[in-house]
Amino acid sequence: RVYIETYGCQMNVSDSDVVRSVLRAHGVATTEDLREATAALVNTCAVRDNAESRVWTRLRQLKALKRDAGHALTTVGVLGCMAERLKAKLLETEDLADLVCGPDAYRDVPRLLENSTRRLSDLSEEHRMNVLLSLDETYADVRPVRRDVGSPMAYVSVMRGCDNMCAFCVVPFTRGRERSRPFESVVDEARGLIAEGVKEITLLGQNVNSYADAPMKATTSADDDPFAAYAKGFKSVYKPKREGARTFADLISAVAGLDQEVRVRFTSPHPKDFPDDLLRVIAQTPNVCKQLHMPAQSGSTSTLERMRRGYTREVYLDLIKRAREMIPGVALSSDFISGFCGETEDEHAETLSLLEDVRYEQAFMFHYSLREKTHAARNLEDDVPEHVKKRRLAEVIATFRRRALEANAAEVGRTHLVLVEGASKKDPEAQMSGRSDTGKRVVIQGKRAFSNSSGKEVDIKAGDYVVARVVEAGASTLLATPSEITTARAFY
């Protein structure tokens, strides 16, 4: 039996579902209980030092379990981004893994597992490792085996890899070049999930909104063209694959059109890939959630240039303005890196002022950690002291939380349609929890509400759409009272 443990982004969670499917297709049983497992596969993240440190600690724990005569575990495998980045160290130097498999080689996991049961002296390294990156692997024909069967939410991977080559990011080196799943395979998977009762589908990709279902003639950004490849003013180090393709705007429209009772989200995008036609589709399609992730990374144009992000502060703010004009009430989230190579106090202050100006509802904030192979590792100096990075990060977090609290305070008295995910973790006996259309976490006071379909008061359950009025707000959570259980069509 194989146990899979997942670290990192939602793409890794989706990839673990792919691995489960591959294993089951080869007759290999999986388990959610490590105590039952003879093999443990750890799906890893290499984006930041902290993520890798957690995995190293876990691998040493699993190695100790292998030595425990009372435990069934005999094999430990490493999957994902650390597998590609640290293959030799994992297999030989640290001797923490019996097999190593990269993100594009998951079809090979059954063979690697079989080889891991043989004596190491009989095996060369190639028989225990496959970290080859692919130009075309999307696992389009693999129907993921979801771990959370019964959840009203599901994730569908639509593209893999990234071509952006941002100076700080290791993803292009661990996950390879961009390639998109065939349009029909994405829509078919979404259709199947809807048939199973899923109420919210999140489309996934390392650079999800650059989706294009086939290689096309290169195009260039045209600021006056409403169907341009990029958002106005944005540039890229690579040529887009747009002309003649069905784009992300086409894809999200098709998935949303399958059933108006099913909400559609997407993550993780790049700001450059928000041309007006995509913003227009989001604005005009009721069941596409009105939440945009716009990862800024920095508020300083000079820092953004060193990061190779392809835009200035002013161009980014123009995109924010355009998004808010085209999608009234849209909620915005972002990513920020503190202490990137060469960042000055003035540049840091510009990031704080961007947080003040935009007032994001959500943000993911980290201090910079150098990644091998990246442009920054090869060409820049990681010269901001660690204590300065941490201090700047604390200031970024404090500024974000203050502004997010102000944004959420404005929600008090407003009504939201909440998709219920389940009982509240804080008070499961008295509260339910879910998310609004704008991605805000909403805790519902009470577990019963009037049902429009039955005409009587019933228990609120996971998968219900509940109309709820906000009565209290924190920086990351809203507290609301339920008024009725309804449908998405009726609310919008």
What CATH number does residue 79 fall under? 3.40.50.12160
Residue at 366 is within a domain? yes
Task: Say what the pLDDT of residue 477 is.
Answer: 95
pLDDT of residue 414: 97
pLDDT tens for each residue of 189-231: 999 999 999 999 999 999 999 999 975 444 444 444 444 568 8
**364 Ramachandran zone, left/alpha/beta (phi>0; psi -120 to 50):** beta
- Decide the pairing of beta strands 465-473 and 415-423: antiparallel
Q: Give me 236's structure tokens.
A: 């890229």
375 with 448, same domain: the answer is: no
Tell which of 384, 410, 436 closes a domain: 410
HEC profile of 341-400: CCCCHHHHHHHHHHHHHHCCCEEEEEECCCCCCCHHHHHCCCCCCHHHHHHHHHHHHHHH
pLDDT of residue 162: 94
227 shares its domain with 116: no
Q: Do 431 and 401 lie in a common domain?
A: no
One domain for residues 356 and 399: yes
pTM to 2 decimal places: 0.91
- Chain length of the chain: 492
Residues 156 and 267 in one domain: yes
Closest-CA residue to 154 (of 83, 202, 96, 87): 202
Q: What does the alpha-carbon distance between residue 91 and residue 86 come to, in Å, rounded to a whole number? A: 9
Per-10-residue mean pLDDT of the chain, 492 residues long, equals: 94 95 96 96 89 92 91 94 83 86 96 82 70 92 86 96 95 93 96 96 96 62 52 70 79 98 97 96 98 98 98 97 97 98 99 98 96 95 98 99 95 97 94 97 96 93 98 95 96 90
Dmax of the chain from CA atoms? Answer: 70
Indicate if 246 and 333 belong to the same structural domain.
no
Residues 12 and 70 reside in one and the same domain: yes
Judge whether 302 lies within some domain.
no
The pLDDT, as a whole number, for residue 137 is 93
Dist. CA 180–CA 162, nearest whole Å: 11
Determine the pLDDT at residue 129: 93
- How far is 349 from 359, CA to CA, in rounded Å? 15
Domain count, the chain: 4
Quote the distance between the C-alpha of residue 97 and its chain's center: 26
Residues of the domain holding 256: 148-289
Please give the pLDDT value at position 222: 41
Residues 417 and 436: beta-carbon distance below 8 Å = yes
